[in-house]
Structures are given as C-alpha cells and as structure tokens.
Structure 1
C-alpha cells in the first residue's frame, strides 16, 4: 500500500474518532469477555517472574482494560502507560472506573517519570511515531504490552508488523504481549452493514480513491448509521496473524491464541506471546 493511501485511511479514522469519541465510548463500558481468560494466562506466565506489573497499552481508548486490570489482577500494578491518538477518548473513562490514580500527560511532557501515578495517559499519533521511528512515550521497559481494538485500524500488513515490533522492543525478556484481532465479518449483522457501507461508498466520488486503495479483507464501516464519518477496518484471518509473528524483531513464543466476544464467541481473535 502506498504511503499516501495509508495517510488517507489514517485521516479517515482520525476524523471518525474525533467526531464520535463520546458516543463510541458510551457503548464501550463493560470489559471484553475474552479479557478474563486472557488475564489468567498472563498471570500464569508472569507470576513466577514478578509481582509487579509495568504495562504499556497501545491505543488504550477509554482505559477500559486499565481499570479491568486494576480490579481483577492478583499481581501488583505498579505502572500503566496508556497511549492513544484521541485525547477525548482517554478522558472518557468507563462509568465504574476508579480514576483516582489517573494523570493525563501529553506526549510533549518531559516529567512523566516524576508523576506518582499508576495510570498515565499519553496523547500521540502511534502510527506516525512508528512510521518515523519515533520512540513510543512511556517510562522504560515493560513486562506486559497490550493492544486491543487497534490492529484492525492499521492500514497495510507492513505497518501492522512494525507496530507489533514497536511493542516487542519496549518489553523486557520474559514479558508478555497481548493483542486482539477483530474478525467482524464472522458476524452476519456486521457483514451486512459492511456491505451497505461499501455500496454507499461506491456512489460517492470523494471515496473512490479510498476504495481503490483497499487491500484484501479491508473494509469501511459506519457508526450508528452516520455515513458522513467512516472508519477503515481490517478483518483478520489466522494466516495474517501467523505472518505478523513470523516477522517479529525478537525471539518470541506463542502462549495462547483463542476466539471470544460477541454473541457467537468469535468476534475477536486473541493472541498472547512471550518475548524470549
């Protein structure tokens, strides 16, 4: 995919979340079903190494996983660096969240290490940082890196691999990296909505270049029937996940891969790997 096409798709998603951040976050309150199973594997892997978690959350959204982890983990949560491009999402925390330990910190901050807070938020264009080899913000290295609901928004397989490796490089040996891969075309309702958006996009002259840039399994989706702001999403199959793992910049071991979420339990494909 050409860089200009990647930029156009990223702008599409940026505009989508800037417009829909509040209404989108309002529907993203409860923990994902798959997180409970995933956390059990994470704790099994890390319990013998440490009792203190240092977490990097790439595209943290409204901090749902951060607060789920605060409530549910048996390990001590020492640090949680949350990254997202949309400041309004980072501040739109779930209704039941404990925000007493959350401190917002823009990427331009230089004194994050001095903030006595567990959860720190960083507003940053993650994909731009990865493309330009700009280090992701945060404090040192981590023993857990996570990214949920983000990989499907990354245009091109090459850039998805680079994001994966950016997470790997911020982890210590023995750390866990947990990802989700959206498989929305498994859901008949979402598949029908995707087809409707595609038919609409074909009728819009300003979207022809966007449609022409899409690769296999790439789609455009609307939100609450609002076709003015569309988002780019990629549906994953397991072979694409295998390709990402094969391109790892450091030795890794796959711990578990499973499907969860949605009415049929197959809306997300979860992956947990350990850096060797």
Structure 2
C-alpha cells in the first residue's frame, strides 16, 4: 500500500473517532469474557498498558480481577479519553493514568515511559481491536515491535483481531472504495470500508487479520505465540486472540 493511501485511511479513522466517539463508547459493553485466558499471565498487582483504550472498559474489567492493578490507557481520541476518565474515576483501588497519544506516531513509546518509575516495564500490554485499524502490514508489525520493547522480562502482549469477514452481516456492510475516492486496486487483500449506523453515520477502515497473518505479524515483531483462541459474539468466533511473549 502506498504511503499516501495509508495516510488517507488513518485520517478517515481519526475523523470517525472524533465525530462518533460518544456513540462508539455507548456501544462498548462491559463483558470481557474473551480476556479470561489472559489472567494466568498477570501477577497479583500488574502494571498494564491499554493501547487504543477507548473508554477504558478493560480497566473496569481488570479491576474486578486484579483490584490493585496499575493501569495506563492510551488513545488518540480525546473524546474517548473523556469517557475513559469517567470510567477510571469510579475505580477506587486502581492506580490509573490516561494518555492522549497516537500509536502511528514513530515516537509514541517515548510518551509512555515517563509515566513509569525508572526501569519499570509493563507486565501486560493489551492491544484490543486496534491493529486491524492500522493500514499495511509494516505499520501493524512496527507497533507490535514497539510495544514489545515496553514489556517486563516475563510480560505479555494480548492482541485481538476482529474476524468481521467471517460473518455475513459484516461482509454485507462493506462499501466500495470509490465512496472515499479510492479504488480496490490501491488496497491490500482483506482491507474493507465499513459504515457506522448508530447515533449518526460514519466510515471506518478495517483490515481482516487472519490467524496466519497474525502469526506473521508476531514473527516480524520477534514475538513468540504463547497461546491463541477465538471468543466473543454470538458465534464465540468474532475475535481472534493471541497472547505473545518476547523471544
């Protein structure tokens, strides 16, 4: 994918999460049952980074599992971070910080490190429903690689990929690329333009990351796959999860 095309897709998604932040946050439920397999990888008082944290629903869920966790939520949407602030304010036992930053910026880890004590790294980094909104394999792999460098020696990356093309209702929601002045020939296989119809309208770029591509991304980021599984949705197959560790 050409760089200018990737930038147009990133701009499209930024506009979506600016315009539709409130409506999007209201659709995100608190059920995080798909994350239960990640709990054995967390110490009793973990330090956790939530990339693309949205309204920080991960913090709310983890507060019931690891009440004394330290949580840093990072998102590029000021509107979603506003919702996240309300979430973490209600979590009395959680030490929480929120950071407005964009993982597509080359130096985003430099904004995270000052929030940690010197020499301390993360026990777990969650990248849930994030990487499939980043255009191009190289960018997705770069963000994974950068995140891995923020892990403690025994830390893990918990990644989820939306398997939207496996369900007919989402395949039917695809729009032609000409809707935004692009063509299918400019896209990578698995790229899609999806519409949004709740409390307003919007458009989002999404990439269908197959399990095989997820393995390739992990390898490109020098990460080992500790476990994989599907979960969520009525089919219990809506999201593909990987728990990754540094090699």
For the pair 1:268 / 2:243, whether they are aligned, the reply is no
* 1:220 alignment partner, SS class: strand
Cα deviations across residues 107-154 of structure 1 (Å, max 9, x unaligned)?
A: xxxxxxxxxx711100112212x3x57624242411111110101101
Alignment correspondent of 1:218: 191
Query: Could you tell me which residue of structure 1 aligns to residue 25 of structure 2?
Result: 25
8 Å CA contact 1:8, 1:210 repeated in 2: no
Q: For residue 89 of structure 2, what is the aligned residue in structure 1?
A: 99
SS in 1 for 2:227: strand
Q: Does 1:76 align with 2:68?
A: yes
The number of equivalent residue pairs is: 242
Partner of 1:155: 135
Distance 1:84 1:133 in 2: 11
Deviation at 1:101, TM superposition (A): 5.3
Gaps of 5+ in 1: 103-116
Between the aligned partners of 2:4 and 2:199, the Cα distance in structure 1 is 25
Distance 1:261 1:26 in 2: 18
Structure exhibiting the larger radius of gyration computed from Cα positions = 1
| TM-score between the two structures when normalised by the length of structure 1 | 0.80
Shift of 1:212: 4.1
Q: How does 1:65-214 map to 2 (within 5 A)?
A: 65-73=58-66, 76-77=68-69, 79-93=70-84, 97=87, 99-100=89-90, 118-128=95-105, 130=106, 135-137=110-112, 138-139=115-116, 140-194=120-174, 197-198=175-176, 201-202=177-178, 204=179, 207-209=180-182, 211-214=184-187
TM-score normalised by the chain length of structure 2? 0.88
Structure 1 residues 136 and 6: CA distance shift in structure 2, 3 A:
farther
Give secondary structure in 2 for the equivalent of 1:127. coil
Distance in 1 between residues matched to 2:88 and 2:148, nearest whole Å: 29
* Superposed CA offset, 1:5-27 (max 9, x none): 11110000000111111011101
Deviations 1:23-48 (A, max 9, x none): 11101132233122x23xx3x2344x
1:9 is the counterpart of 2:9: yes
What are the residue-to-residue correspondences of 1:46-65 with 2, within 5 Å?
46-47=42-43, 51-65=44-58
